[in-house]
Structure 1
Amino acid sequence: MSSIFIVLYKSLVFMLGFREALDLVKEAIGRTGYDEKIKIALDVAGTNFCIGKRYDLDFKSPQKSGQNFKSAEDMIELYKELCTEYPIVSIEDPFDKEDWEHIKYISSLGICQVVGDDLLMSNAKRIERAVTESACNALLLKVNQVGTVTEVIEVVKQAKEAHWGVVTSHRSGETVDSFIADLSVGLAVGQIKAGAPCRGERLEKYNQLLRIEEELGDQAVYAGEDWRQ
């Protein structure tokens, strides 16, 4: 079965401030008593707030001062701090989609899984370049971005041959179709990103995972941290 992380979306981060948002999530995890079982994944979407070669951390704030800009080097130090202070195991698109240099560098640090979404666009040629340059170590798989199921299988194979992680993802404007749950289990990708369990189109994916588990019976094993196996 697939692993399910708490994904901290950029909307929450910029509404509260990233440390306040992380503190809330960390506190919530602690209150449940699942400190060792629940981890955090960040969906940064660095391209959205990259201006030139700097990152505007206040880009969604109505009271923005225009002073809270960070260089890519500053962002690397920030990510290192956050991964030390919080149970962060995965960061998606930490930099602009064309900033291959710094994505490659943060991947080389080995502090967490580095996922390529805008960087890769589920595109075989960009994945090949990222594998060659060791630019990240996980693929965000968007089925309708690839085109066909056959091509999906090929890019997943491509990622796995590079010993990458794969995260099957829902899309904006989702429907109640639950196919990505079946796909995640069938391809043994190990990770799925389907949003918070608060709306029908999201719940249906998690419900389908439960139905698959029920159907498989004793053959269904929750992988947890061993999802790569």
Structure 2
Amino acid sequence: MNVLIKADKLNLGYKKDELIIKNANFEIHQKDFVFITGPSGSGKSTLLRSFYGALKVQKGSLQVNGFNMKRLSSRKLASLRRAIGVVFQDYKLINEWNVEKNIALPMIINGFSKNETKQTVEMLLSHINLLHKANKYPPELSGGEQQRIALARALSHRPKLILCDEPTGNLDDYSSDMIWGLLKSSNEQLGITIVVVTHRLPTHLNIRHRKIEIIEGEVNERT
């Protein structure tokens, strides 16, 4: 099975003398569904940030989709991010753009045709039951609706990898179930690798998955 993410003695932190992730060794393979868990402040989001180049490697090595994250030029970082979709806990939608254009953003960046972009956006909006909100703006939506839009945006350009930081942390049950269902189908039907940071695993998600736990900077796989 192809390795999509590989860490070897990986050390991460925001200050040189304060490591948050210490000597981590792990692999994430294509088509994996991985939960990253651990206590609050343990470094879950820190680790996730390193996967899309928002945090530099201090020591050791990290490979993501064939890219060496320790020696990554701006051009290579842009290329890497074209293969990744990111879902943030605070959505990071563009308030001045309507829902349709927010979802289309990665497709615009990646040079999809207008016709394909329109068809994909409509399909995704229908899938998350928000087709009727296509012309609304993020401030007009509930938190659950905004997160569903954020996930649709992350999926729109058909990435190899989706990274989610507490995607259901502040959502109602309906929106949470929809998010988990969409992530599951993306993994099972489209073969997208899913990595989710969460403090609470969904009890009803019937999917084969792996769990990586972080405690006091130590990264270990749990069964």
- TM exceeding 0.5: no
Higher relative contact order (CA 8 A, sep 6+): 2
Coarse TM-score class (shorter-chain normalised): 0.3 to 0.5
Using structure 1 for the length normalisation, give the TM-score: 0.37
Using structure 2 for the length normalisation, give the TM-score: 0.37
Q: Could you say which structure has the higher helix fraction?
A: 1
